[in-house]
Amino acid sequence: METKSENACFGGVQGVYTHTATSTSCDMTFGLFLPPQAKDGDVPVLWYLSGLTCTHENAMTKAGAQAWAAEAGIALVFPDTSPRGEGVADDDAYDLGQGAGFYVNATQAPWDPHFRMWDYITDELPQLLFGEFPLDPDRQGITGHSMGGHGALTMAMRLKGRFRSVSAFSPICNPTQSDWGQKQLTAYLGEDSGQWAAHDASLLMAETGFDGPMLIDTGTKDQFLDLLKPEALASAIATKRQQAVFRMQPGYDHSYFFVSTFMADHVAFHAEELLG
């Protein structure tokens, strides 16, 4: 692991690090904010998964999460959204390829050698983080925005017992029925739609739900509402009688102005579970 930068931030440290990942067969970069409380021992962890076209930098610099995390004493992890570099497959479209990993393990050429973001986020990166930094693996929450909201919800529901809490900003809720999903799942996983269900939050909600609290915010003026399909997840939550707060925020769009507006709510939501 190589330290790219470390900056003092709200009494803690905002770092950026790179390492050679075996799961993605390339170098990967991630951001990690350690709150001041990490000087005294292991702290809880909140994972933040970013959306289409983003890197580790977007939420790290735009979401305003560090101030609230420092106050609560929670670390923040900002992974990248896909493998990158020379020899890594890409596409001219912004919603496929580099920057658009969709947090799945690709099985189809040309994506399968590198696009194994599920294994990277759920296995390899946690092993690195908990081995190198003062983080508590028994106190984890996960959140994300858009494509990252999709990843956060699917990981929370599939990895039983891993996360105490899950939240999402404008998540892609029903990718098997959306152009933000059908295109990418076909490319990465193949034509058999039966392989897609494990990466659809609405289907997972109907099948298993989440053993803990859930918070979801989406703006009523989100320009991608028809692609996000929040109504599918809301219906599944109601049918499952899932413990959840599902909010449609009037006037807000898909941008980081929206994310930063409600970030304090989300950090406080996770803090209640991780520190309670």
Active site residues: 146, 222, 254
- HSE-CB at 132 with a 13 A cutoff on CA atoms is 15
Q: Between vectors from CA 55 to CA 221 and to CA 92, what angle results, nearest 5°?
A: 80
Question: In angstroms, rounded to a whole number, what is the distance separating the alpha carbons of residues 85 and 70?
Answer: 33
CA 137 from centroid of its chain's CA atoms:
17
Structure tokens belonging to residue 195 = 């392989």
Give the single-character DSSP code of 123: I
Which candidate, 178, 172, 242, 170, places its Cα nearest to that of 205?
242
C-beta separation of 152 from 173 below 8 A: no
C-beta separation of 150 from 103 below 8 A: yes
Report helix angle 256-275 to 65-72, nearest 10: 10
